[in-house]
Amino acid sequence: MKNSLLLILLFFVLQSAFGQQKPAYILFNAKGKKVSYKKMIRQLSKNDIVLIGEFHDNPISHWIELEITKSCKQNRNLVLGAEMFEQDNQAALDMYLQGKLTTKGLDSMARLWKNYKTDYAPLVNFAKENKIVFAATNIPRRYASLISKGGFEVLDTIPAIAKAWIAPLPIAFDSTLPGYKNMLTQMEGHGTINMIKAQASKDATMAYFILKYHVPGSLFIHYNGSYHSNNHDGIVWHLKKAKPELKIVTVTTVSQKDIKKLLAENKDKADFIICVDEDMTNTY
């Protein structure tokens, strides 16, 4: 009897302890159903391209994209790529991956993001350790800036070498895509069509270099801001336009006060959704 009472007491203590747990994130599928990490990895590994949409300052985004990369490496040969590296820095990135350039040298030769050391170096170093190709997929920011001021026409005046760092001209553009329309709405009258074209130049260029570096039979994992691939828009639109036969899957990050149930507004943003507690500390 005494042992039975102790077991009952232990049961309630454990129940209370589990009830008080506060998870930092929960994984959902597009419809808002909770999924396990293991199931997500199985699904991701079956595709040609995985786009991981992150919050640039969110530690859960950065941690889980590294874990996804490590897990997928167990099943597939990988190629990696990231928005955070602009294509004219590819040579410096390659030299670092080949051991011909130190971390300090990479910092001097490439335009690294301010959170590179904490958030992106682990991905690059994983590629280096495992001899994985890492593509710098983004348009050099100075050209995106020119487009935001003068439209695609300004690209006709830049040097030929610069055009090699950008998606082939003319850049495909559809101003009616939901992501671009939402950008104009969010800017509340302060946005211009050229600013949307600058966004499109990034999406198109990232898609172009993803396809350029993708190796048939391998899995390409790409890291980008969530807005570039949310709702299967942006980069995904350009990838499908170029190669509709590719199997593409998306992951995104969202933030909620209560992460136990995915809000309706966050459903269908991606095939898999990392729902993070909105109180999560930022990395910068």
Tokens of 117: 């050391």
Which segments in the chain show pLDDT lower than 70? 1-20, 188-190
Range of the domain at 147: 21-277
In a domain, 8, yes or no: no
In a domain, 31, yes or no: yes
In a domain, 220, yes or no: yes
pTM value?
A: 0.91
In a domain, 284, yes or no: no
Instruction: Report how far residue 226's alpha carbon sits from residue 235's, in angstroms, rounded to the nearest whole number.
Output: 10
In a domain, 7, yes or no: no
In a domain, 124, yes or no: yes
How many Å is the maximal CA-CA distance in the chain? Answer: 88
Q: Which CATH number is 81's domain given? A: 3.40.50.11550
In a domain, 4, yes or no: no
Per-residue pLDDT at 18: 45
Instruction: Report how far residue 235's alpha carbon sits from residue 214's, in angstroms, rounded to the nearest whole number.
Output: 14
In a domain, 200, yes or no: yes
Q: How many structural domains are present in the chain?
A: 1
Phi, psi of 206 (to 5 degrees): -60, -40
Per-residue pLDDT at 16: 41
Task: State the sign of the Cα–Cα–Cα–Cα dihedral 77, 140, 164, 192.
Answer: positive
Per-residue pLDDT at 184: 82
Per-residue pLDDT at 164: 97
